[in-house]
Structure 1
Amino acid sequence: MLRFFEQLIDPYPTDEPTPPPKGFMAFLWACTKGTRPYIAGMTLMTALIGAFEALLFSMLGSIVDWLSKVEPAQLWTQSRGQLLLLVGIVLVSPLAVLLQTLFKHQTLAGNFPMRLRWNFHRLMLGQSMGFYQDEFAGRVATKVMQSALSVRDTVMIVMDILVFVVIYFLTMTAVVGSFDAWLLLPFLGWVVAYALAVWYFVPRLAERARTQADARSLMTGRITDAYTNIATVKLFSHGRREADYARSAMRDFMTTVHGQMRLVSGFEVVNHTLSMLLILSTAGATLWLWTQGQVGVGAVAAATAMALRLNGISHWMMWEVAALFEHVGTVQDGINTLSRPHTVVDTPGAQPLAVTRGEVVFDKVSFAYGGVRPVVNDLSLRIRPGEKIGLVGRSGAGKSTIVNLLLRFYDVEQGRILIDGQDITQATQDSLRAQIGMVTQDTSLLHRSVRDNILYGRPNASDEQMEIAARRAEAHEFIQSLSDPKGRVAYDAHVGERGVKLSGGQRQRIAIARVMLKDAPILLLDEATSALDSEVEAAIQASLYRLMEGKTVVAIAHRLSTIAAMDRLIVLDQGRIVEEGSHASLLAQGGLYARLWAHQSGGFLGEEA
């Protein structure tokens, strides 16, 4: 039975998620998709439990009245029906509790937030590169994890706890009113005073919670940023500086905590005072009515017991309301990130890109990263099938931007990019990038095994194909000597976060092996051998040339060995093509390329003085 309820919700739905709306209630409603029938079932059972608990006090009053009026020997004879009804209700109530807890704990407690994490994570994976340039990775991860739990707890508190309290109070009011209408006055007075306290404290708690959630994610982001860049921190001996940087965020967070706890303390004192006044006024009113002969002893016992019970519930409810608005603040903070629309999306009806020749055309492309000054300005360039070109220019000339636009990490602002005559905006992003292999200058690996990192290029490749790629990249030999603290060796050894356990050259060779295994028809090289020493570079340069055979190649060129392999060099300045041709012809022109070449140093193109 437990397994049946645990499997009612699929925590990993296959349908692609869409960014939820920004409105709070609309966001919550969108998050409950796929779980609503079970939330409704839990709420119904909760309402029945609340009504049952209040009715128990009415039954208690009836029993006290029977005991005060009936001789012990006659109790069963005169009150048999009522006693059997009471026993029946008590025995049936565990069924409602069983169904409620099965829905709450087996069906919803684990599956609901996991379903949200799964959907939120996929939404974040679909965000553009620009999104991640403006966010801490740790901050995004925190919002994915925190928001999922806070959505669940918000829904649980509203649909479970608050429904219980409302139904319990309504039923209790009906029971008290059935004794004597005057007994409603203490309870109604308490409700009005409690509502005023909630009206004052809760919005302030919500604001504190929202500020606290943002401060918490900022604090987590700063801490995570230091761990991610630990090598840089240690290289510059800035451990103390990073601690101080995190401490400033911690102080901001603690400021929100102190403000929140002051409100909670005030609410606690007010709540307790109201509860004591309720008990005093209820007991006094029932005793006075009893002395007037208007109510029996059972009414005194039941009403006083209800007031005592409401004292406990009000304290519990106070903490739940405080928790509710802390969760509300966390959800509102997460909405800004999780509901942000994707800026680079597949167009409706996008088709897989079919690459048969590998021709790439930039047609009057302009791009400014949303700014005013174009980084790429009215660029037109045709790269023939199988042609190998090098992009040359000063820093900021637009070389990396051209590569990013070809990969569609950003959408062009003007013009278009064609591959074999197909506009890349009309193709699916996955199919576009499946046809492009890239080796970057700054290579980071996944914190997984060497095998996983190489197979990332082609997950369905065999171990034999993977090893061939590693050998071609001159990586197989050093891979055999790898091990990690858990005893995994060679291709099963884990490389650490971003490949920190390997040298720069080793990371680069694994990255080259990954691209060799992918074997895409279009190849992008962003100084692919820059992290290698001269001996290793010479060893794998021939492998890179073999990799480039039959492919269309775009290389961001600084190193002479890379330039020598290119069919044509494209010289960029301020986002425009200012020169193009072979190495010899460009030198003969005596233009920008010749001046850059004249300032070369150590085999690299230098900056113009």
Structure 2
Amino acid sequence: MFKRFEKLIDPFENTALEMPPKGFLAFCWYYTKPVWPILAGIAGLGAIVALCEVVIFTYLGDLVNWLESESRETFFQDNWPALLGMSLVLLVLRPLLEAAWQLLFHQGLVGTYPMSVRWRVHRYLLRQSVSFYQNDFAGRIANKLMQTALGVREVVTKVADILVYVAVYFTAAVFVVSKANIALAAPFLIWFAAYVVVLRYFIPKLRDVSKVQADARSVMTGHVVDAYTNIATVKLFSHASREEEYGRQSMSNFLGTVFKQMRLITLLNIALTTMNMMLLFGVGALSISLWQADTVTTGDIAIAIALVLRLQGMAHWVMWELAGLFENVGTVQDGITTISRERDVEDQPSAGILSVPRGEIRFEGVNFHYGKKGGVIQEMDLTIRPGEKIGLIGRSGAGKSTLVNLLLRFYDVEKGTVRIDGQDISAVLQDELRANIGVVTQDTSLLHRSILENVSYGRPDATRAEVEEALRKAHAYEFVQTLSDQAGRTGLDAHVGERGVKLSGGQRQRIAIARVLLKDAPILILDEATSALDSEVELAIQDSLFDLMEGKTVIAIAHRLSTIAAMDRLIVMDKGRIIEEGTHETLLQRNGLYAQLWAHQSGGFLETAQSA
């Protein structure tokens, strides 16, 4: 029975990947559409339960009147139909309604609804641009994802269930007491008016402080995660105390928002309790006056007092629920600012596949500057012939990595065109583009998964034997065989830790090389690919790298010029422009920037002064 309700929603449905709306109501509806029939059912059941509870109170008033006026000897004989109806409502109808509501709410909605939101947001964020992640904490983004999913659920369910329940209950209660005597409804209506005034004063303030609190919580989480992620750096510089202060500031800011929230809640509860006591006093005093005038029965008074007592408990509950509602409104509004952002790099609606039969790359009049005033890449014209191996050389900031990022379409060019085999890369799917380019970077990040999963990441259908062969070519198979993790997994099945932290830099680099060897893309980018390797290991895998480059178009970046001197052509960049190009020997003869860099190398690296 539970599973049947748990499967009412498929939280992992592959819906469209368009940007979520930026408006609050539109954002909530966007993620609520898959579950609206269940919400409607929950709201309807809540309304029926509210009516049922008011009916139970009317039974209580009738029972008081019967006990006061009916004969003890013929009580059951005279009233058995009403007593039977009362028993069925109490023992059958009310439990069945509760069971249906609980199954729909807890099994059908509570778990799957926020998971559906998380899944859809996660799919969208995975396709966000690289710059999106460069400008924020990964921990903060993840926290926004989790908070917003729960916030949407709480906002929508509270409106659909609780407010419907309360509205129906209060309306039915006023109707019941007014039937006894219209004057008895007056204290309820006055109380309700005061209740609305209190809500209008406190709830917006709680909403605003909750929005600030949600952001402060995300910042606090981001700071903590940042310290944990870079724990090796923290320890190397002996900055645990500094990180304590960094974390204390964000925690103190968060605590300040909690204090503001608690002050409001204290004042809110004081006001609410005062109103509730005044309601009880007013109904009690009015009931006595009407009873003395013989215009209400004892049963009517019992109903009115019972409804007041029920409303007192409900008022606190509703106030907390509404406070929670607007707290979650603030959380969702805060999440919208992170989640509902346009992608800097979008696939065109007509984007198609990329065909790379030759591997020619052309930069035609390319300009790009990361939003800065000065141009990082200026009027770049460069043709890389099919199968040509070129080396990109230049001081830091010359534009080498930017050129590679534009080829990978991590950013869109501001002017000009980048083409592969004559195809404008902005007119093809990003996944298609990057599937045809293999990359080994200086800062190698591995997923916290097994060696097997990391190496086969570029070719998920690869066999275990193919993964092992790629590791052998990258001279990584031997050390992989010695690996183990806390779960007892060994070799290819051992997990490598977050970002591959359990491996040395050289080991991570060899895993990355094995991954690209296995991917076997027609275009290859080596961005300081051997920088983390010692000379002996670099020499050992040199043949494997040449095998990897065979038949491919290659772009290699290296400060260690000796590693790229043998390339077909060297491109020397400075301030976003190509200032020299040619073979190693040709450039040395020209005695230009390349010759200066070569002359100033020490142990194969550019001097610090030259790379600044």
Work out the CA distance in 2 between the residues paired with 1:171 and 1:130.
56
1:71 matched residue in structure 2: 71
Are the equivalent residues in 2 in contact too, given 1:55–1:172 (CA < 8 A)? no
How far has the Cα of 1:96 moved from its partner? 2.1
Residues 461-516 of structure 1 deviation map (CA, whole Å, 9 limit, x = unaligned): 00110000000000001111111122111111111111111111101000100000
SS in structure 2 at match of 1:456? helix
SS in 2 for 1:20: coil
1:363 matches 2:334: no
1:315-360 per-residue CA deviation (whole Å, 9 max, x = no partner) reads 1112111111111111111010011111211100211111111111
Q: 1:557, 1:563 within 8 Å by CA — same for their partners in 2?
A: yes
Counterpart of 1:115 in structure 2 is 116
Aligned to 1:575: 576
Distance 2:175 2:412 in 1: 64
Would you say the 8 A contact 2:398–2:573 is kept in 1? yes
Once the two structures are TM-superposed, the CA of residue 557 in structure 1 deviates from its matched residue by: 2.5
The answer to whether residue 548 in structure 2 is matched with residue 547 in structure 1 is yes
Secondary structure of the structure 1 residue equivalent to 2:34: coil
Describe the SS at the equivalent of 1:585: helix
Q: Secondary structure at the match of 1:35?
A: helix
| Identity, % of aligned positions | 56
- Whether 1:502 aligns to 2:503 is yes
1:193 aligned to 2:194?
A: yes
Matched, 1:57 2:57: yes
Report the residue type matching 2:515 in the other structure.
R
**CA deviation string 1:398-448 (max 9, x = no partner):** 000000010011111111110111111111111110000000011111111
Distance in 2 (alpha carbons) for counterparts of 1:368 and 1:39:
49
Q: How many angstroms apart in 2 are the aligned matches of 1:78 and 1:483?
A: 82
Q: Is the 8 A contact 1:10 1:111 kept in 2?
A: yes
Deviations, residues 75-101 of structure 1 (Å, cap 9, x unaligned)? 233323322332333322322222211
Q: Which moved more, 1:209-218 or 1:564-573?
A: 564-573
Residues 566, 584 of structure 2: 8 Å contact kept: no
SS in 1 for 2:374: coil
**SS where residue 34 of structure 1 aligns?**
helix
- 1:293 matched to which residue of 2? 294
Q: 5+ residue gaps in structure 2?
A: none
Instruction: Compute the displacement of 1:592 (Å).
Output: 1.6
**Partner residue, 2:2:** 2
1:493 maps to 494
The farther-off stretch of 310-319 and 80-89 is 80-89
Aligned to 1:84: 84
Residue aligned with 2:573, SS = strand
Give me the whole-angstrom Cα distance separating, in 2, the residues matched to 1:240 and 1:387: 52
Q: CA deviation at 1:162?
A: 1.6
Alignment deviations for residues 111-133 of structure 1 (CA, whole Å, 9 cap, x no partner): 00011111111111111111111
What letter matches 1:495 in structure 2?
A: V
Conserved? CA contact 1:436–1:524, under 8 Å = yes
Partner of 1:265: 266
2:155 corresponds in structure 1 to 154
- Alpha-carbon distance between aligned partners in 2 of 1:158 and 1:324, rounded to the nearest angstrom: 8
Tell me which residue corresponds to 2:343.
342
Tell me, yes or no, if structure 1 residue 24 matches structure 2 residue 36: no
Mean Cα displacement is larger for which, 494-503 or 134-143?
494-503
Distance 2:104 2:567 in 1: 65
Within 2, Cα distance between the matches of 1:492 and 1:2? 36
User: Which range moved further: 63-72 or 559-568?
Assistant: 559-568
Aligned to 1:585: 586
Corresponding position: 1:419 with 2:425? no
1:38 corresponds to which residue? 38
Instruction: Tell me, in whole angstroms, the C-alpha distance in 2 between the residues paired with 1:463 and 1:140.
Output: 35
Partner of 1:312: 313
Q: Partner of 1:604 in structure 2? A: 605
Kept in 1: contact 2:15–2:120 (CA 8 A): no
Counting only pairs closer than 5 Å after superposition, residues 386-535 of structure 1 correspond to structure 2 as: 386-535=387-536
Cα separation, 2, equivalents of 1:579 and 1:259: 63
Deviation of residue 527 (structure 1)? 1.1
What does the per-residue CA deviation read over 1:47-71, in whole Å, with 9 as the maximum and x for residues that have no partner? Answer: 1111111121112111111111111
Q: Which amino acid aligns with 2:13?
A: P
Alignment RMSD: 1.1
- Tell me how far apart the structure 1 counterparts of residues 15 and 317 of structure 2 sit (CA, whole Å): 39
CA–CA separation in structure 2 for the residues paired with 1:80 and 1:295? 25
Amino acid in the other structure paired with 2:65: D
Structure 2 counterpart SS, 1:73: coil
Count residues in correspondence: 609
State the one-letter code of the partner of 2:349: P
**Gap runs ≥5 in structure 1:** none
Q: Residue 127 of structure 1 aligns with which residue?
A: 128
Q: Note if contact 1:368-1:375 (Cα within 8 Å) is conserved in structure 2.
A: yes
2:382 and 2:271 map into 1 onto residues whose CA distance is 73
Q: TM-score, normalised by structure 2?
A: 0.98
Indicate the larger mover: 259-268 or 341-350.
341-350
Give yes or no for contact 2:561–2:598 (8 Å, CA) kept in 1.
no
| SS across alignment from 2:33 | coil
Letter in 2 for 1:331: V
* Equivalent pair of 2:500/2:508 in contact (CA under 8 Å): yes
User: Hey, what's the Cα distance between the residues in 1 that align with 2:516 and 2:487?
Assistant: 28
8 Å CA contact 1:595–1:608 kept in 2: the answer is no
3-state secondary structure, aligned to 1:385: coil
Q: Is the 8 A contact 2:368 2:375 kept in 1?
A: yes
Residue of structure 2 equivalent to 1:379: 380
